[in-house]
């Protein structure tokens, strides 16, 4: 099959975007992994599929697949900003604000005059069972009334490292740990061990957070089924929400990632998280699958 695609990125987190509004695209896991493959295919952290609305009150359906595994996931923040840029540029909508349905939620996406996009990422979820995360037998350290869970990363000869994490769901699961300096953080060694830790039944995205001030942080994320990406939108939301709950951050924070800056705003429980950042089209192409 000959497939047209658009290559995009949001703060360096990159995507292959496909238009399935005219006809459903039933791609196999192998075809999705080929699209994500940086040697044998196009190359992308995630594959985003634009589908026609499947219910009243939304403009499109937004589906997300991790490029390395071909598995469908619940949410992609950087991808949602590219989504609205894509539908505008491809004449699929004339509106600056659109509403999309994901596998487990709905998002409102707003194209700003300066070209950045603001997304209402809905409310964060903290109940461990809804991540899912199994805290049984663990005693959390309470900071500002919020749990930091001691994760034992010891696996045989790897030694008894313990990662102290906050857990947050933005529709997809996140474990956030504070580090003194992101550039020296053990992302390559601890990231994969947290990602597949047995207490996360559907694996987890691991965020490494450096607090620069109450309104500025640096963040690296070892993403579930993607490895370290240059930015993670839901990861930035999860890290800021955790930082606010832990008393480290104010309600509006600039998140410096290796691929660019995202601005996250959250006014506390009961409120949505707002994420603002870039959405860039790199090239259009075709591939034979
Ligand atoms: N790897 C993530 C999906 C992509 C999230 C990230 N790219 C974002 O911008 O939120 C997961 O498996 O939950």
In Å, how far from its chain's centre is CA 45? 11
pLDDT of 157 above 80: no
Which of 76, 117, 226, 237 does the annotation list as catalytic?
Answer: 76
pLDDT in tens, 251-274: 999 999 999 999 999 999 999 999
Question: Could you tell me if 200 and 88 lie in one domain?
Answer: no
C-beta of residue 200 within 8 angstroms of C-beta of residue 193: no
CATH of the domain at 107: 3.10.310.10
Same domain for 180 and 73: no
Q: ω before 116 within 30° of 0 (cis)?
A: no
Same domain, 42 and 103: yes
Give the whole-angstrom CA distance, residue 31 versus residue 34: 5
3-state secondary structure of 264: strand
In terms of residue numbers, what domain contains 262? 128-271
My answer on whether 141 and 43 are in the same domain is: no
Strand partners, 164: 150
Q: How far is Cα 20 from Cα 65, in angstroms, rounded to an integer?
A: 14
Number of domains within the chain: 2
268 marked as part of a ligand binding site: no
* Cβ(70) – ligand 1 distance below 6 Å: no
pLDDT confidence bin for 160, thresholds 50/70/90? confident
Instruction: Answer yes or no: do 159 and 114 share one domain.
Output: no
Are residues 86 and 172 part of one domain?
Answer: no
- Choosing from 46, 240, 277 the residue with most ligand 1 atoms within 8 A of its CB, the one to mutate for a pocket test is 46
- 104 and 157 share one domain: no
pLDDT at residue 155 is higher than 80: no
Average predicted confidence (pLDDT) for the chain: 97
pLDDT in tens, 235-255: 999 999 999 999 999 999 999
Is 66 known as a binding-site position? yes
Entry pTM: 0.97
How distant, in Å, are the alpha carbons of 25, 33, 66, 89 from that of 43? 19, 9, 11, 22
Atom of ligand 1 nearest to the CA of 229: 7
Least Cα distance to 19 among 97, 81, 92 occurs for 92
Q: Is 82 a catalytic residue?
A: no
Residues 77/233, Cβ–Cβ less than 8 Å: yes
Ligand 1: residue whose CA is nearest its atom 12: 224
Which ligand 1 atom is nearest residue 173's CA?
A: 13
230 and 191 in a common domain = yes
ipTM above 0.95, yes or no: yes
Residue % of the chain over a pLDDT of 70: 98
CA dist 145 → 141, 148, 172, 243 (Å): 9, 10, 23, 12
Tens-place pLDDT, residues 180-219: 999 999 999 999 999 999 999 999 999 999 999 999 999 9
Q: Is the pLDDT of residue 283 over 90?
A: yes
Question: Which residue of the set 42, 221, 232, 238 is catalytic?
Answer: 232
Q: What does the pLDDT look like over 23-41, one tens digit per residue?
A: 989 999 999 999 999 999 9
Are 266 and 164 in the same domain?
Answer: yes
Q: What's the pLDDT score for residue 159?
A: 58
Give the pLDDT confidence of 57-113 residue by residue, as tens digits: 999 999 999 999 999 999 999 999 999 999 999 999 999 999 999 999 999 999 999
Task: Determine whether the shortest distance from the Cβ of 31 to ligand 1 is under 6 A.
Answer: no
Query: Does 202 lie in the same domain as 242?
Result: yes
Is 232 catalytic? The answer is yes
Strands (E), 68-185: 72-73, 97-101, 106-111, 117-120, 141-143, 146-152, 162-169, 173-178
Residues 87 and 163 in one domain: no
205 is in an annotated binding site: yes
Q: 164 and 111, same structural domain?
A: no
């Amino acid at each position: 099959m000959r497939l047209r695609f658009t290559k995009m990125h949001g703060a360096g987190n990159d995507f292959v975007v496909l238009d399935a509004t005219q006809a459903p695209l039933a791609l196999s896991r192998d075809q999705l992994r080929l699209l994500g493959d940086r040697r044998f295919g196009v190359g992308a952290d995630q594959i985003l599929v634009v589908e026609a609305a499947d219910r009243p009150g939304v403009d499109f359906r937004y589906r997300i697949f991790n490029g390395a595994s071909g598995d469908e996931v619940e949410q992609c923040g950087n991808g949602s900003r590219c989504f609205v840029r894509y539908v505008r540029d491809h004449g699929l909508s004339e509106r600056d604000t659109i509403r999309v349905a994901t596998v487990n939620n709905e998002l409102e996406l707003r194209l700003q005059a300066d070209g950045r996009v603001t997304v209402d990422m809905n409310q964060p979820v903290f109940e461990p069972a809804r991540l899912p995360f199994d805290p049984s037998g663990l005693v959390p350290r309470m900071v500002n009334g919020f749990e930091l869970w001691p994760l034992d990363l010891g696996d045989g000869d790897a030694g008894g490292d313990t990662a102290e994490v906050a857990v947050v769901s933005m529709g997809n699961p996140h474990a956030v740990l504070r580090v003194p300096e992101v550039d020296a953080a053990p992302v390559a060694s601890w990231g994969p061990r947290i990602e597949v830790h047995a207490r996360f039944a559907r694996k987890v995205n691991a965020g490494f957070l450096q607090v620069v001030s109450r309104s500025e942080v640096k963040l690296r994320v070892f993403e579930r089924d993607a490895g370290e990406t240059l930015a993670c939108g839901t990861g930035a939301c999860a890290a800021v929400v955790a930082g606010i709950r832990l008393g480290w951050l104010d309600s509006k924070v600039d998140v410096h990632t290796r691929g660019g800056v995202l601005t996250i705003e959250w006014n506390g429980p009961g409120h949505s998280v707002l994420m603002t950042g870039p959405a860039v089209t790199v090239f259009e192409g075709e591939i034979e699958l």
